[in-house]
């Protein structure tokens, strides 16, 4: 199986290299128009078919590695290091992306899969798709070179064949790790597609904004995958690491967040290019930067440049990635300089108080946040290179800068939809903003009344202050977005003799992109409310003998037992705790600590009881070696469930935005005939 896997990777490299070279030659022949004995169209088609074949070959390599894991083929070093006989089947499959070599193979397979879909769609616009497919082939060649010569996943174990493997890292033996990395990788890898289209469109001086419309859905799907991957990673950190939090500004967390920020900026500013012919250079560099940041994130994770619970060991492949990023940046810069006259804006911003300005401010703030996070992430590397001493940057640095930026972005989320294109009048501002402003200040008064006090006992509470802003601005943003829904739905309901619910549905169906985006904004507000709850976290720790209690918030935890268990994969210890609220027993929780036999590594299994108001989060820290009694740490984390609920709202909004809108004619057919002529104005409209 190792020989088969290695052979398929060589074949995949050959197909991708042919796709790159033949595709580039064909495009050059077509561009110059010179007569040739070889038909450029025929050559381009063979290059496309080679790209499709590279996906088939890569699929063979993935199958070989997964089969080796399931058949316990420990003669392959990678399988010996990341699997063992007692490992459950789901985690044997997850072993594919649990190590450096396998994760890069998985990356290459997803990239080939995206390319496979793109090349099947080539008839939409043959020349543009040929450019994009050739650029994707160049990216594939890089990863196949890595897999064949730098980090081959099918290297054989040097020595007597072991009877069992080292097992999967205990931190990865959690159900979400079966879906979190694929989601994250689908997001990371997926940004290669809009990058390829943007670079290809610039190279061929593609007219108009059609390439934006072609790639919009690619970008939205990729952005959704990356968003899900980030949130699943947060939930994994929350449920597995046992520290009571979900985001610690870890370098690898930052590496996934940075392309999300620039990708979000791109999704917003492309609307400016589509509607107004503006920000063309800005959009091109946004997508170039997003792709480069995905490669940088891979470098940080796979190259071992930073210390992280997510990162792999120190590796020389960072030099490969740095060289590749340098080549990509040089190609992008050269192409931009050569074709920059093609990216002249057709219009200018006419007023600072307009939707165009809100998009521009939104982008500037997102890029500022990205730069701050990039600087904090790379600072330890830079300081070690310059001074010889690694100076780490901790969460306080990021919180001090990122929280105000995030709150300002939340504010823009509510302001943008209320501003018209081009310019606005004072009357329009008063009409659109008066209700959100009333709600904002009402929320401030209510929050102060219920105890959210920025000043306590004469001291300033930074957490309470930012929570007060987050909750009140969030309430105003929700009001602004819902008023947009309500305003349009009322018009349609009144003119079609339908109820408000049907009017809302018809409103969303006639412009799914716009109203799906509004739903995403509502999801962002829900997430921010959940994040703001961390200002009121509580925690307590105690060594608990039998029938001893620990009180936190409204709960009293009483230990009623301590037991041990074992299976072929791990030994475990449980603490049995009854939880009382208001003097009545409500439920029982069982925080656990495991020792994995293959690696002899401990792992904490947190017990979490979630409500819409807070999470009771309990960790079994181990036993006191002197007394043998369990040590329990309990957290009361308000509003954490809102973070995961917000993700669900974001996904729903994104999926809605991906659904094609009904054309005005089709929308009109769904209106009663008697009211159709009155409904025409409400059924039309744009973003």
pLDDT, tens digit, for every residue of 599-653? 888 888 899 999 999 999 999 988 888 887 889 999 999 999 999 999 999 999 9
**Residue 663 confidence (pLDDT):** 64
Question: Residue 31, Cβ neighbours under 10 Å: how many?
Answer: 12
| Nearest-angstrom CA–CA distance, 447 and 660 | 41
Angle formed at CA 243 by CA 239 and CA 248, multiple of 5 degrees: 95
Locate all alpha helices (DSSP H) within 121-145, ordered by sequence. 126-145
- Tell me if 410 sits within 8 A of 525, measured CB to CB: yes
**Residue 307 confidence (pLDDT):** 59
Query: H or E segment at 531?
Result: helix 512-532
Question: What architecture (CATH level 2) is domain 174-345+355-406?
Answer: Up-down Bundle (1.20)
Residue 343 CB contacts under 8 Å (≥ 6 apart), including other chains: 202, 280, 281, 284, 336
**Residue 587 β-bridge partners:** 579
Give the CATH fold of the 1-172 domain: 1.20.120
Write the DSSP symbol of residue 123. Answer: G
**Token pair belonging to 679:** 């409904």
Q: Which of 98-112, 260-274, 417-431 shows the lowest mean pLDDT across its residues? A: 417-431
> Tell me: the pLDDT tens digits for 462-481?
888 999 999 999 999 999 99
Per the listing, tokens 């036999």 go with: 597
Mean pLDDT computed over every residue of the chain: 87
**Residue 677 confidence (pLDDT):** 43
- Tell me if 155 sits within 8 A of 5, measured CB to CB: no
Half-sphere exposure for 312 (CA within 13 Å, toward CB): 22
Long-range contacts of 299-308 (CB under 8 A, 24+ apart): 299/325, 300/251, 300/252, 300/255, 300/377, 301/252, 301/255, 302/100, 302/103, 302/104, 305/381, 306/251, 306/252, 306/377, 306/380, 306/381, 307/251, 307/380, 307/392, 308/250, 308/251, 308/252
Helix 395-415 with 512-532: angle, nearest 10 deg: 140
- Tell me if 485 sits within 8 A of 511, measured CB to CB: no
**Token pair belonging to 658:** 């991906």
Q: Does residue 120 sit in helix, strand or coil?
A: helix
**Token pair belonging to 51:** 């790209």
| Nearest-angstrom CA–CA distance, 492 and 506 | 8
Write the DSSP symbol of residue 148. Answer: I
Question: Residue 380, Cβ neighbours under 10 Å: how many?
Answer: 18
**Residue 162 confidence (pLDDT):** 84
Does the pLDDT value for residue 261 go beyond 90? Answer: yes
Torsion angle, CA of 457/459/464/465, rounded to 10 degrees? 130
Angle formed at CA 638 by CA 528 and CA 536, multiple of 5 degrees: 90
Tell me whether the CATH fold assigned to 1-172 matches the one assigned to 174-345+355-406: yes
| End-to-end alpha carbon distance in the chain | 54
> Tell me: the pLDDT tens digits for 143-171?
999 999 999 999 998 888 888 889 888 88
pLDDT band per the 50, 70, 90 thresholds, residue 686: very low
> Tell me: the pLDDT tens digits for 420-447?
666 666 677 777 788 999 999 999 999 9
| Nearest-angstrom CA–CA distance, 279 and 269 | 7
Q: Are strands 592-596 and 570-581 parallel, antiparallel or unpaired?
A: antiparallel
Give residue limits of the domains in the chain: 1-172, 174-345+355-406, 407-530+650-683, 536-641
Q: What is the mean pLDDT of residues 6-27?
A: 96
**Residue 386 confidence (pLDDT):** 82
Q: How far is CA 380 from CA 27, 388, 558, 569, 662, in A?
A: 44, 10, 44, 38, 52
pLDDT > 70: what percent of the chain?
91
| Nearest-angstrom CA–CA distance, 312 and 54 | 27
- Look at residues 532, 376, 408, 369 and name the one whose alpha carbon lies nearest to residue 462: 532
Does the pLDDT value for residue 536 go beyond 70? Answer: yes
Half-sphere exposure for 365 (CA within 13 Å, toward CB): 20
> Tell me: the pLDDT tens digits for 207-239?
767 788 888 889 999 999 999 999 999 999 999
> Tell me: the pLDDT tens digits for 19-76?
999 999 999 988 887 777 778 889 999 999 999 999 999 999 999 999 999 999 999 9
pLDDT band per the 50, 70, 90 thresholds, residue 670: low
Per the listing, tokens 């493997």 go with: 165
Q: How far is CA 483 from CA 292, 478, 686, in A?
A: 39, 8, 17
pLDDT band per the 50, 70, 90 thresholds, residue 353: low
208 or 13, which is more confident? 13
| Nearest-angstrom CA–CA distance, 512 and 14 | 43
Does the pLDDT value for residue 669 go beyond 70? Answer: no
Per the listing, tokens 């911003």 go with: 349
**Residue 425 confidence (pLDDT):** 64
pLDDT band per the 50, 70, 90 thresholds, residue 675: very low
């Amino acid at each position: 199986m190792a020989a088969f896997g290695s052979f398929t990777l060589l074949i995949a490299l050959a197909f991708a290299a042919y796709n790159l070279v033949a595709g580039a030659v064909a495009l050059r022949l077509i561009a110059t128009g010179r007569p040739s004995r070889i038909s450029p169209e025929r050559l381009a088609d063979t290059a496309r078919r080679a790209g499709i074949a590279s996906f088939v070959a890569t699929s063979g390599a993935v199958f070989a590695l997964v089969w080796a894991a399931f058949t316990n083929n420990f003669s392959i070093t990678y399988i010996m290091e990341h699997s063992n006989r007692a490992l459950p089947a789901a985690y044997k499959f997850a072993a594919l992306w649990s190590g450096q070599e396998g994760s890069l193979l998985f990356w290459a397979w997803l990239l080939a899969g995206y390319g496979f879909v793109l090349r099947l769609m080539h008839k939409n616009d043959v020349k543009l798709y040929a450019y994009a497919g050739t650029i994707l082939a160049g990216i594939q060649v890089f990863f196949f070179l890595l897999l064949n010569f730098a980090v081959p996943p099918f290297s054989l174990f040097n020595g007597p064949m072991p009877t069992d493997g080292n097992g999967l890292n205990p931190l990865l033996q959690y159900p979400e790790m079966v879906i979190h990395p694929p989601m994250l990788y689908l997001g990371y890898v997926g940004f290669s597609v809009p990058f390829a289209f943007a670079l290809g469109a610039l190279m061929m001086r593609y007219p108009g904004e059609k390439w934006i419309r072609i790639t919009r859905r690619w970008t939205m799907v990729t952005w959704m995958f990356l968003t899900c991957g980030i949130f699943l990673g947060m939930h994994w950190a929350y449920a597995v690491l046992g520290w009571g939090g979900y985001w610690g500004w870890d370098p690898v967390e930052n590496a996934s967040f940075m392309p999300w920020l620039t990708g979000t900026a791109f999704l917003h500013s492309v609307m400016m290019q589509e509607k107004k012919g503006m920000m063309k250079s800005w959009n091109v560099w946004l997508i170039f930067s997003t792709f480069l940041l995905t490669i940088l994130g891979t470098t940080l994770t796979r190259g071992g440049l930073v210390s992280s619970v997510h990162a792999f060991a120190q590796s020389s492949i960072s030099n490969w990635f740095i060289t590749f990023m340098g080549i990509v940046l040089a190609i992008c810069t050269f192409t931009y300089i050569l074709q920059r006259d093609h990216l002249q804006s057709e219009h200018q911003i006419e007023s600072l108080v307009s939707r165009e300005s809100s998009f521009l401010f939104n982008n500037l703030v997102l890029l500022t946040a990205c730069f701050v996070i990039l600087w904090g992430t790379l600072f330890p590397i830079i300081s070690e290179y310059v001074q010889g001493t690694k100076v780490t940057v901790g969460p306080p640095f990021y919180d001090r800068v990122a929280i105000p930026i995030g709150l300002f972005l939340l504010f823009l989320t509510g302001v943008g939809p209320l501003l018209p294109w081009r310019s606005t009048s004072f009357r329009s501002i008063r009409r659109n903003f008066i209700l959100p402003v009333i709600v904002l200040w009402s929320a401030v008064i209510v929050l102060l009344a219920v105890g959210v006090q920025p000043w306590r006992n004469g001291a300033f509470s930074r957490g309470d202050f930012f929570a007060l802003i987050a909750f009140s601005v969030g309430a105003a943003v929700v009001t602004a977005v819902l008023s947009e829904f309500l305003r349009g739905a009322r018009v349609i309901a009144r003119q079609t003799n339908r109820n408000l619910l049907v009017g809302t549905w018809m409103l969303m169906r006639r412009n799914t992109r716009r109203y799906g985006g509004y739903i995403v904004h509502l999801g962002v507000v829900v997430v921010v409310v959940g994040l703001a709850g961390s200002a009121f976290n509580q925690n307590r720790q105690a060594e608990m003998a039998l029938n001893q209690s620990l009180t936190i918030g409204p709960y009293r935890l009483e230990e009623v037992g301590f037991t041990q268990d074992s299976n072929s994969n791990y030994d475990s210890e449980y603490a049995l705790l009854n939880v009382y609220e208001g003097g009545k027993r409500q439920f029982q929780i069982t925080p656990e600590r495991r020792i994995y036999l293959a690696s002899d590594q401990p792992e904490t299994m947190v017990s979490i009881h979630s409500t819409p108001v807070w999470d009771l989060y309990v960790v079994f820290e181990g036993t006191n070696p002197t007394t043998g009694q369990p040590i329990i740490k309990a957290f009361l984390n308000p509003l954490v469930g809102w973070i995961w609920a917000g993700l669900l709202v974001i996904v729903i909004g994104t999926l809605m935005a991906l659904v094609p809108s009904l054309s005005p004619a089709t929308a009109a057919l769904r209106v009663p005939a008697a009211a159709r002529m009155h409904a025409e104005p409400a059924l039309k409209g744009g973003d």
